[in-house]
Amino acid sequence: MIRPEDFYEQEGTLNEGDRRRIWKGIRRSLPAGRHPLLFITDARSFFYGMAAAVLLGFALLGGMQAVRLVQDPPETRLVLAYQSAISQFEAVVPVSTGAPGQAQSGQVQSWKNQLVLVDAAIVVLRLDIRENGPSPVKQTKLRELYALKLQVLQTMIENGGIEL
Amino acid sequence: MNEESEWIQRARQGDRRAYKLLYDRHAAALFRFLHRFSSNRSDVEEWVQRAFIKAFHQLDAFNEQARFSSWLFRIGINEMKDDGRKVGKILTMEPEALPGTAEDDDFEWEATMQTLLDELSESQRMVFILTEVEGYTHAEIAGMLGFTEGTSRSLLSRAKQHLRVRWITEGKRA
């Protein structure tokens, strides 16, 4: 076999400049491959996406919390607490929930009348909230009514208006 | 798997760096071979470039039982032929080999035979260089040039006979 270096003439060889020029032309015609920068961009996109997902998760949690607060606001819990306290109180002192009787003193009668009025107001307001939705004013009013009822009951106890 | 097979696999998946390795290995050999058939360097660069581009896009069709270089040479030769056809220059192919044609085992290359190579037909010159210099088999050359092994052997034999006869008659032999 003839050695290539003994056969080919010098002008038939590729120098470095020719080699680079030809490759440049070839590379332009090749489909874009994965470039390290693209990989970096991909990773960056990945991390941005993860961060966005985390933020979205927090936003969803916040949204769910907000919905829960709207559906079950602190005021509602407070009202429930009042109701619970009153129910427990009335369970202990059933005399206070009985219809006003003629044999009781005028003061006690007055307190009982107040309780009837307050209960009626509570019923009307709760009905209104159920039908028309809550509002800060209604919630405040309801809270005040429950507080008033407790106050009347407390007064009745302290002043002997209730037989324990 | 040898390293070249690995490069081919990676290039098939779009790895340009792997294809650059193939280019670095084979570009010079293809260039110097094609340059024997054209003194116009820019034409030869064009053929080499187009050959590598075509080879890349046809990598899925490459049969790894064959050598990548022989497949690449075939593409490069076809690029040269296509350009020749455009300018009305047709690469003439010799007729089929006659039965009994044997290779000339007594042939010895001499550097002074270089000038005599241009007297050969293009086909003879191609077969001579591809066997005697580039080391391809007649089967590979047949695949590259589109004829049979027998034709390749016949072309080589005729090329060697011509070179020896001319070398002697030209008084080159000392």
Averaged confidence pLDDT in chain B: 87
Number of Cβ pairs < 8 A linking chain A and chain B? 71
Residue of B10, B12, B24, B35 to mutate, testing the A interface (most A Cβ within 10 Å of its Cβ): B35
User: What pLDDT is recorded for position B96?
Assistant: 47
Contact B130, B144 (CB under 8 A): yes
Instruction: Convert the pLDDT of each residue in B44-90 to its tens digit.
Output: 999 999 999 999 999 999 998 899 999 999 999 999 998 887 655 55
pLDDT score, position A164:
57
- Residue B105 to residue A32: CA distance in whole angstroms: 50
Question: Which residues on B lie below 8 Å from A14 (Cβ)?
Answer: 27-28, 31-32
Token pair 């260089």: residue: B129
Cβ neighbourhood burial of B78 (10 Å; 0-12, 13-18, 19+): middle
Question: Tell me: the pLDDT tens digits for B83-121?
Answer: 887 655 555 555 444 444 455 567 888 888 888 998 999
Is some CB atom of chain A closer than 8 A to the CB atom of B40?
no
- Residue A74 has a pLDDT of 64
User: How many Cβ atoms from other residues are within 10 Å of residue B163's Cβ?
Assistant: 23
Report the residue of A1, A3, A8, A11 to disrupt the B interface, i.e. the one with the largest count of B CBs within 10 Å. A8
Instruction: Say whether the ipTM exceeds 0.90.
Output: no
In 10 A of CB A32, how many CB atoms? 9
Interface of A with B (CB under 8 A): 1-4, 6-9, 11-14, 18-19, 21-23, 25-27, 29-31, 33-34
User: Which residue type occupies B20?
Assistant: K
Alpha helices, H only, chain A? 4-7, 16-29, 36-71, 74-92, 106-132, 136-158
The token duo for B87 is: 């300018």
